[in-house]
Chains A and B, each alone.
Chain A
Amino acid sequence: MFRNNYDNDSVTFSPQGRIFQVEYASEAVKQGSVVVGLVSKTHAVLVALKRNAEELSSYQKKVIAIDEHLGLALAGLASDARVLSNFMKQQSLSSRLTYGRAIPLSRLVNSIGDRAQTNTQHYGKRPYGVGLLVAGVDETGPHLFEFQPSGMTQEMVACAIGARSQMARTYLERNLDKFADAGREELVVHGLKALKESLAQDKELTVENCSVGVVGVRGEGMKAIEGFKLFDGQDVKQWVDMVAEGAEETAEEGMDVDS
């Protein structure tokens, strides 16, 4: 019987130059519930679908605030995300302490990318089994980054990762042109709509299973920061109601609807 001998560890290349352990790690991302991120000229938004293990258990945290100016959403192994987010919190604080400056996002994201890469090149380590969307603002405005277990990091205009996220990405690609000039509320609604696309047939968005993270810039010269804020429970009701069944028709005006 055929057996793939090249997938036992992350220090073995397959004859095609692939590293299967890393590819398998990105499968772990697809096991996590979906998260969506998107940016406008003024804001960066994260929305996430939370899962609970059973009816009476709490929901898994999907969005983590890192610093005043940024936060992240995760899909995959939550404990790996905690390791990375703790590291990011340290880096952010260290920048504030040493320079009195909010750390530039690209630098922070690169630092976890470099860390993740190390795990793919040394025996006895395993790749991180988590994908992240990092959203925040810095001197150059709002940003959204995607982080993958391979250590790949990319700046995106919008992105969705996790289970069934292809549907959300399709929504984002279709509405890509609308994000740049969208207002804060509008951006959140787009995020939730994308999230909704990825829901399983019998699921719907509720205040229990939705998380929203918002961060932005405002004021003259976009210098003032609207700090990263996490919304859960009743705080997301306003937005969940806007994308609920029925409310859709009126809100969807001018938007192409799949049937």
Chain B
Amino acid sequence: MNHLPQAWGRPRDDVYGAYDHAYLQNGPKQHTQSPAVTGTSVLALKFKDGVVIAADNLASYGSLARFTDVKRLRKFADTTVVGFGGDVSDMQYLDRLLNSLDIEEAYGGSSHTLNAQNLHTYLSKVMYKRRSEFNPLWNQLLVAGLDGEGKPFLASADLLGTTFSSPSLATGFGAHLAQPLLRKVAFDEEAAAKLTVEEAVEAIKESMKVLFYRDARSLDKYSIAVVTKDGIDLKQDEKLEKQSWAFADQIRGYGTQIN
């Protein structure tokens, strides 16, 4: 008799013979194993009156820069911006989901609207449900807006259903390259609450530039949004300014090196 837990509830091999795997000829059913067309980093930073969020306009197919006009910041009901990293078609699915949610919300007139916090809770449940079905939406999202009390709100949700909140957040490569830069201007909530909108926008733009220098899947065309209680100021065709590639010839170890 086999007393090991893995045998509990199973037909006994000594009575019924070993389990026959032959029926699984095609292997187990599989869902998405990797993303296809992807967007890279999304950056966001809280300041005293709201949140700044930015993402470049590139969608890559592997290492190919496939689409260069993809808008990865999506507005929700003039109160919230969701920034998407990861799979673009899953982003489009989520965008449609948010669209139908927005229409449903507007059935009852303008009196009830989901704030950024509500939206983040909702999205994180969607992400977690899908990962629990072993069929994740291959994205990492940043949700920027205001919470129920009108205070700046910023949080992330990812393909595993993990949620996280911080005065500054970044997805993808940005989590490694931009996050330290953003933490320099807003180490904690207290510091973020002192930032002006200009300082926050400047910090985000500077980080976007660093990402363009170092992330081969990034672009110098980007979208940036400022969310405050007065609404959303979204610009979708910005160009990184004052680039300097002077550091480039100092880089060693890649490509053909002369000296």
Contact = CB atoms under 8 A, between A and B. Distances in A.
A98 interface: yes
B162 interface: no
Given A99-B114, A101-B114, A223-B149, A106 B121 contact: no
A100 B108 contact: no
Interface string A73-114: 000000000000000000000000111110010110000000
B171 interface: no
Nearest to B114: A99
A249 B149 CA distance: 46
Nearest to A138: B112
Contacts of A201: none
A98 B122 contact: yes
A164 to B, nearest CB: 35
B141 to A, nearest CB: 16
A67 to B, nearest CB: 16
B118 interface: yes
Contacts of A104: 108, 111-112
Interface in A195-243: 223
A104 B119 CA distance: 16
Interface in B88-139: 108, 111-112, 114, 117-119, 121-122, 125
A139 interface: yes
A139 B112 contact: yes
A139 B111 contact: yes
Contact of B121 (A98, A107, A223): A98
Contacts of B118: 99-101
A53 to B, nearest CB: 41
Contacts of B149: 223
Contacts of B121: 98-101
Interface residues of B, number: 11
A115 B119 CA distance: 27
A138 B113 CA distance: 12
Nearest to B121: A100
A141 to B, nearest CB: 10
Contacts of B114: 99, 101
B112 to A, nearest CB: 5
A98 B104 CA distance: 15
A16 interface: no
Contacts of A101: 114, 118, 121
Contacts of B117: 100
A8 interface: no
A101 B113 CA distance: 10
B108 A106 contact: yes
A140 interface: yes
B111 A107 contact: no
Nearest to B149: A223
Name the 3 nearest CB pairs between A and B, nearest first: A100-B121, A99-B118, A104-B112
Interface of A: 97-101, 104, 106-107, 138-140, 223
27 contacts: A97-B125, A98-B121, A98-B122, A98-B125, A99-B114, A99-B118, A99-B119, A99-B121, A99-B122, A100-B117, A100-B118, A100-B121, A101-B114, A101-B118, A101-B121, A104-B108, A104-B111, A104-B112, A106-B108, A107-B108, A107-B112, A138-B112, A139-B111, A139-B112, A140-B111, A140-B112, A223-B149
Given A100-B121, A223-B149, 13 more contacts: A98-B122, A98-B125, A99-B114, A99-B118, A99-B119, A99-B121, A100-B117, A100-B118, A101-B114, A101-B118, A104-B111, A138-B112, A140-B112
